[in-house]
């Protein structure tokens, strides 16, 4: 694998990829020039220098590809509603490799491959190797419940592999609806035996919130390199189970202190998904630090895009197919189109209480998938954001003091 730095010009300067340590670095124009990058567009736009976030990127940094919607696990909260039969018109390796060529030409850095259960695809390794050859790093999420033998043999092709693990022992069944903890645990152990970059994805629900510390301890015990915490989303079968599984308001407010304590206690890297940004900024974390870590809320249709198993383009995996129903390999022409990705790019026109929130340019109104489901309108503020909850209870401006962890 090449370890040369890949650099992509942007309006604000450039994005450069580091392999060791793994990082995407956003730099201004002067720094970009020192890396040998120059853009014709900079002269005509002198105010854009360093203005990260002022406009959408020139292309996503990451694409989330649902390679198939086939999966027999039948999890009650599956956000894609995966079935053993998959979706009509699913793409095969030829179409995905062509789309990866297109993404590579646009300067996309990373892929997150998922499903369904992509590990069952006999051509998964072929697609991952193709991405590698194009300079795009493929990463993978798997349930660990199918296709494990084949996956172990191609694990080296991926940058990071995470196994879905929403609870330890019987708690796994309480969240996912079937008792397959032992199988998922076996998959983690087998993958970890051949690769260091193995982690777990944990969908946080009101059922397993109290077990987060135990789950993170489990990851440490299995010598995993990260835990990624995901907010429950009302998509696919998750739409029907959302009301019963989404965290309570009290749990959302306790999320950051809980995670911070567990990270310190167990000394393991923890990642939180973009939809948790409202729950982070609720604790008035250092705004400058959040900016420097590029911690954003909804960056769908900007930093990331999704693609369904039939190649249909969406702002993110939870979003409806983009207006005009473009395919992933039409990304270049669609990206600059007026109204592209509909409500996912209109966060600057947010309603209160987002409009007056000092974190709006970072949080961007929270998760639009949740707003769409609960409010019927993706442009509305995230209804689970503590600030929004307080505003609607008639307590606007309630402020949490910084929490000492």
Partner 1 sequence: MMAPRGRILATRFGLNPNSSSLGVDVTFLLVGAAALSIFTPVIGALLRLKRREPAGE
* Footprint (CB under 8 A) of partner 1, residues 29-88: 29-37, 50, 52, 61-62, 64-66, 79
- Please say which residue, 224 or 350, places its beta carbon nearer to partner 1: 224
The residue among 303, 384, 376 whose CA lies nearest residue 52 is: 303
Q: What is the closest distance, in whole angstroms, from the C-beta atom of residue 242 to partner 1 in the complex?
A: 14
Q: Which is nearer to partner 1, 12 or 96 (CB)?
A: 12
User: Rounded CA gap, 263 and 242, in Å?
Assistant: 27
Q: For residue 382, give the 3-state DSSP assignment.
A: coil
Copy the structure tokens of residue 365.
């109104």
Nearer to partner 1 by Cβ, of 228 and 353: the residue is 228
Q: Which is nearer to partner 1, 227 or 350 (CB)?
A: 227
Residue 315 CB, shortest distance to partner 1, in Å, is 12
Identify which of residues 106 and 190 has a Cβ nearer to partner 1 in the complex.
106
Residue from 140, 139, 123, 143 nearest 187 by CA: 143
Q: How far is the CB of 27 from partner 1 (least distance, A)?
A: 5
Tokens 């008792």 sit on residue: 179
Q: Which is nearer to partner 1, 289 or 399 (by Cβ)?
A: 289
Write out the binding residues for partner 1, residues 92-121 only, by CB under 8 A.
104-110, 112-115
Which residue, 333, 330, 324, 327, is CA-closest to 311? 327
Residue 268 C-beta-side C-alpha neighbours within 13 Å: 27
Cβ proximity to partner 1, 49 vs 214, nearer residue: 49
Asked if 212 interacts with partner 1 (CB under 8 A), we say: no
Structure letter (DSSP) for residue 144: S
How many residues of this chain bind partner 1 (CB under 8 A)? 101
CB of 185 to partner 1, least distance (A): 18
Answer yes or no whether residue 161 interacts with partner 1 by CB under 8 A.
yes
**Window 116 to 145, contacts with partner 1 (CB under 8 A):** 135, 137, 139-141
Binding mask 213-242 for partner 1 (x = CB under 8 A): -------------x-xxxx-x---------
Cis bond before residue 353 (omega within 30° of 0): yes
Q: Which of 127, 123, 139, 57 is nearest to 99 (CA)?
A: 127
Minimum Å distance from CB 381 to partner 1? Answer: 18
Residue 347: which residues within 8 A CB-CB, separation 6 or more?
298, 354, 360, 364, 365
CB 394, min distance to partner 1, A: 31
Choose the stretch contacting partner 1; rule: CB under 8 A; options: 83-91, 166-174, 204-212, 310-318.
310-318
**302 vs 80: CA distance, rounded Å:** 21
Nearer to partner 1, 113 or 127 (CB): 113
Work out whether strand 313-314 and strand 304-307 pair parallel, antiparallel, or are unpaired. antiparallel
CA distance 371 to 205: 17
Q: What is the footprint of partner 1 within residues 322-381 (CB under 8 A)?
A: none
- Identify which of 126, 141, 49 has the alpha carbon closest to the alpha carbon of residue 94: 126
Considering only CA atoms, which of 259, 190, 188 is closest in space to residue 219? 188
Q: Whole-number minimum distance, CB 195 to partner 1, in Å?
A: 12
CB of residue 10 to partner 1, shortest distance in Å: 10
* Minimum distance, C-beta of residue 245 to partner 1, in the bound complex (Å): 15
The string of DSSP codes covering 50-109 is T-TTSS--SS-SEEEEE---B-S---TT-TT--BTT--TT---HHHHHHHHHHHHHTT--
Which of residues 17 and 391 has its CB atom nearest to partner 1 in the complex?
A: 17
Report CA torsion sign: 303, 307, 313, 314.
negative
Q: Which is nearer to partner 1, 165 or 353 (CB)?
A: 165
321 binds partner 1 (CB under 8 A): no
Q: Find the shortest distance in angstroms from Cβ 395 to partner 1.
A: 26
Q: How far apart are CA 166 and CA 362, in angstroms?
A: 28
Per-residue contact track with partner 1, 265 to 294, x per CB under 8 A?
----xxxxxxx----x----xx-xxxxxxx
Q: In this structure, are residues 273 and 259 in contact, taking their beta carbons and an 8 Å threshold?
A: no
């Amino acid at each position: 694998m090449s370890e040369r730095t890949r650099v992509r010009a942007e309006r604000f300067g450039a994005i450069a990829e580091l392999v060791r340590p793994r990082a995407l670095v956003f730099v201004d124009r002067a720094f970009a020039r020192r890396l040998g990058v120059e853009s014709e567009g900079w002269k005509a736009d002198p105010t854009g220098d360093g203005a990260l976030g002022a406009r959408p990127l020139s292309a996503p940094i990451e694409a989330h590809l649902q390679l198939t919607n086939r999966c027999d696990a039948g999890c009650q909260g599956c956000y894609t509603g995966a079935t053993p039969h998959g979706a009509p018109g699913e793409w095969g390796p030829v179409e995905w490799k062509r789309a990866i060529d297109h993404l590579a030409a646009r300067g996309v850095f990373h892929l997150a491959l998922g499903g369904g259960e992509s590990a069952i695809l006999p051509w998964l390794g072929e697609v991952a190797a193709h991405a590698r050859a194009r300079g795009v790093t493929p990463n993978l999420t798997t349930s660990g419940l199918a296709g494990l033998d084949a996956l172990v043999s191609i694990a080296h092709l991926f940058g990071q592999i995470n196994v879905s693990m929403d609870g330890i022992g019987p708690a796994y069944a309480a969240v996912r609806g079937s008792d397959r903890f032992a199988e998922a645990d076996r998959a983690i152990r087998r993958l970890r035996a051949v690769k260091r970059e193995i982690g777990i994805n944990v969908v946080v629900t009101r059922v397993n919130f109290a077990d987060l510390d135990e789950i993170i301890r489990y990851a440490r015990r299995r010598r995993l390199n990260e835990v990624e915490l995901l907010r429950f989303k009302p998509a696919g079968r998750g739409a029907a189970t959302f009301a019963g599984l989404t965290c309570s308001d009290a749990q959302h407010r306790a999320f950051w202190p809980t995670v911070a304590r567990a990270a310190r206690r167990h000394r393991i890297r923890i990642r939180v998904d973009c939809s948790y940004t409202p729950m982070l900024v609720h604790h008035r974390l250092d705004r400058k630090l959040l900016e420097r870590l590029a911690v954003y809320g909804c960056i769908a249709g900007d930093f990331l895009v999704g693609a369904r198993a039939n190649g249909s383009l969406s702002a993110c995996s939870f979003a409806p197919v983009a207006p005009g129903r473009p395919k992933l390999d039409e990304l270049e022409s669609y990206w600059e189109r007026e109204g592209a990705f509909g409500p996912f790019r209109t966060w600057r026109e947010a309603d209160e209480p987002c409009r007056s929130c000092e974190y709006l340019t970072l949080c961007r109104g929270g998760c639009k998938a949740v707003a769409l489901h609960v409010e019927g309108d993706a442009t509305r503020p995230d209804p689970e954001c503590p600030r929004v909850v307080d505003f609607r209870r008639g307590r606007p401006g309630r402020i949490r003091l910084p929490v000492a962890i």
